[in-house]
A and B are shown apart, each in its own frame.
Chain A
Amino acid sequence: MLDSSTAEREMVAGVLAEPGLEGEVAIRLRDVNKTFGTGEQTVLALRGVDWDIYRGQLTMLVGPSGCGKTTLLSVVAGILDCDRGGVVEVFGSDVARMRGGAKTRFRMDNIGFVFQQYNLLPALTAMENASVPLIIAGVPRPRALERAREVLTSLGMGNRLGSLPSQLSGGQQQRVAIARALVHEPRLIVCDEPTAALDHESGQAVMRLMRDAAVKSDRSVLVVSHDSRVFHFADRMARMDDGRIVQVRSQVGSAQEPEAGDVWEAAARA
């Protein structure tokens, strides 16, 4: 049973979603607030975010610097607690109400991460880096490495399995990071500015891989990006401003690079 205020929020979230593309909801956010600091130093990073993210889609979160994109991504990924009262439902589990070990286990089983600076372990080879989530999950090392090899090979990194991160280009390192995010078959993949440290060509290649390898019917991919050159890879795009989702638009992810002045770039600039 939904109370009146929850029902109102459901309606708002529905209104923000463009009709016609709603599928099964993967992530449901309701009244998500996040405050940093206290007293005069208080910063409201998220202000009552209501949003649904669907399965089988690559959703992109855009907006100006400091608008709360990364904070929202962190809350969704369960690595940052939101203020009390909000609902962060990821594949049916309320992450906001999970504590300590339960949250850690949930992340281990369900979430894959791709970071702006890759965050690969410098002492491990590409294959070992990609196997880390499986090792964390307790999979025996030989099996974890074998699985990592498969994923890396599928991402075109079969010839660099034994390379250290320092021996790889930025694009190759990000591919290893994507392999690491995919290796344990998580249901949600969160990416923070995955193309920010890459040149145009590498960025396009990485996003193409992301679309081809990561997007599946039972998975959701959430990408925070400033890079307007990769917006066209998104199935849906939400614009944030001042801690709120102010606009949600959808398109069929074509992976075709748009002409200048495309509607998505316009939307991002709006």
Chain B
Amino acid sequence: MNWIALRMLTGDKAKFLGIVLGLTFAAMLIAQQGSIFCGLMLRTCAQIEDITGADLWVMDPNVSFVDDVKPMIEANLYRVRGVEGVEWAVPLYKGQGRAKLTTWHWAEPRPKSPTSPRTKVQQEIIEQVVMLGLDDETLVGLPRKLWVGDFRDLWRPDAIIVDRVGLRKLFPGQGGESSTDPEFLKSFLGRELEMNDRRAVIVGICEASRTFQTFPVVYTTYSRAKLFIPQERKPMTFVLAKTKPNESPEEVAQKIEQATGLKAKTSKQFVWMTINYYLKFTGIPINFGITVVLGFLVGTAIAGQTFYNFTLENLKQFGALKAMGLSNMRIVGMILLQAAVTGLLGFGLGVGAAAWFGRATQGGELAFYTPWQLLPITGAAIVLICILASILCVRRVVVLEPAIVFRG
């Protein structure tokens, strides 16, 4: 009977498309909004993920997320180094500074005329930046990828490394944000910025994960970072530590907390601490949750209503099949098969559309990340929609008297 069920389903193409589109819409909305939500959450902790080499973060006990910078005295670095199980520990400065630079862009003639040439206009830019000051000797915390330049150039005087996407804000209108062409990116090397009345020279362009605040990320050494920001009494914001081999990072983190009174987290714990902060104290999850729930409800309404109407319109046919000896169980099987096929199609198309959307916006402003867990969640939502839609139909068909076929 399966082929009959499928032929019945696809026989009315408009209704079939209606059901599939309803489910596609729901799947796409759930997968797409879920991916944007995950992407945003990942951005909140992007800098934790970007720091490699160390497996422990030590911070002021009142820090609740990675951007919640609370300075510590530098003596804490030595206290952490003294804890059993710590192989090494280095300081990390993380804070915000202001970069001032003079740049230029091409201005279109006004009024527009093909004969009038474009003019080069100078402009002064003051831009907020996220500054990461890495340990002077080891440079622990360097970004994973350098497009142009050399990490060792950070030891040169006044050297800084800027993230590729940040070029867009520092040098607007010069195409730096979209290009990964090394030759083009090289044109930014050697350009100067002014930070806290001090000269800074770009020696490299790196790839850094986008941050939630979207500020350009500037890497320099720890000692130089202290110069690039207004003088503070307690400049150190984090201590990055590495546990000894055969030691558990979680246990060492606990030992650090007990010995120093500071907060110590593994990178993974710090990521979740940051995400939990955003989940708890911002409206982001509620906003996205509402959109996902709406997608689910709209999908249920469209697919459920169309599927139910489809069953109602076929009620006489189902009645005839029952009269001819088709059992309720087999009719339920037919309906479930129809629901499964439309669900599978809707899920595939919806997730595919969401993936296409993610790919089309890759590298742009939109935060988009689809963890594998989102696929079974979307699948479960679609299964739930199909079950809800089927329950009504199954009930209607099971209680149907086959004698209906003899009524006019």
Q: Which of A101, A106, A132 has the most CB of B within 10 A?
A: A132
At the interface, yes or no: B286 with Cβ under 8 Å from chain A?
no
Q: Within B368-407, which residues are at the interface with A (CB < 8 Å)?
A: 401-403, 405-407
Given A124-B7, A136-B326, A79 and B401 touching (CB < 8 A)?
A: yes
**A77 & B323 in contact (Cβ 8 Å cutoff):** yes
**B317 & A121 in contact (Cβ 8 Å cutoff):** yes
Stretch at the interface among B8-16, B179-187, B201-209: B8-16
A169 to B106, CA, bound (A): 75
Q: Which of A73, A79, A109, A128 has the most CB of B within 10 A?
A: A79
**A119 & B326 in contact (Cβ 8 Å cutoff):** no
**A121 & B7 in contact (Cβ 8 Å cutoff):** yes
**A133 & B316 in contact (Cβ 8 Å cutoff):** no
**A117 & B7 in contact (Cβ 8 Å cutoff):** no
**A135 & B1 in contact (Cβ 8 Å cutoff):** yes
Q: Within B313-346, which residues are at the interface with A (CB < 8 Å)?
A: 316-317, 319-327, 330
Task: Name A115's contact: one of B1, B7, B406 (CB within 8 Å).
Answer: B406
**A108 & B406 in contact (Cβ 8 Å cutoff):** no
Task: Name B317's contact: one of A70, A119, A141 (CB within 8 Å).
Answer: A119
0/1 per residue, A184-203, Cβ < 8 Å to B? 00000000100000000000
Would you call the interface of chain A mostly helix, strand, loop, or mixed? helix
Q: Within B240-282, which residues are at the interface with A (CB < 8 Å)?
A: none
**B325 & A123 in contact (Cβ 8 Å cutoff):** no
- Count how many chain A residues have C-beta atoms less than 8 Å from C-beta atoms of the other chain: 31
Residue of A nearest to B9 (CB): A123
Interface residues on B, range: 20 to 34
Q: Within B269-314, which residues are at the interface with A (CB < 8 Å)?
A: none
At the interface, yes or no: A250 with Cβ under 8 Å from chain B?
no
**A105 & B403 in contact (Cβ 8 Å cutoff):** no
**B406 & A73 in contact (Cβ 8 Å cutoff):** yes
Task: Name B11's contact: one of A77, A119, A122, A136 (CB within 8 Å).
Answer: A122
A104 to B402, CA, bound (A): 10
Q: Which residues of A contact B321 (CB under 8 A)?
A: 132, 136
Could you list some 19 contacts between A and B, CB below 8 A? A74-B406, A79-B323, A79-B403, A80-B403, A104-B325, A104-B327, A107-B323, A108-B325, A108-B326, A109-B325, A113-B323, A117-B408, A119-B316, A122-B11, A123-B7, A124-B11, A135-B1, A137-B325, A192-B405
Q: Residues of B at under 8 Å CB distance from A?
A: 1, 3-4, 7-8, 10-12, 316-317, 319-327, 330, 401-403, 405-408
Q: Residues of A at under 8 Å CB distance from B?
A: 70, 73-74, 77, 79-80, 101, 104-109, 111, 113, 115-117, 119, 121-124, 128, 132-133, 135-137, 141, 192
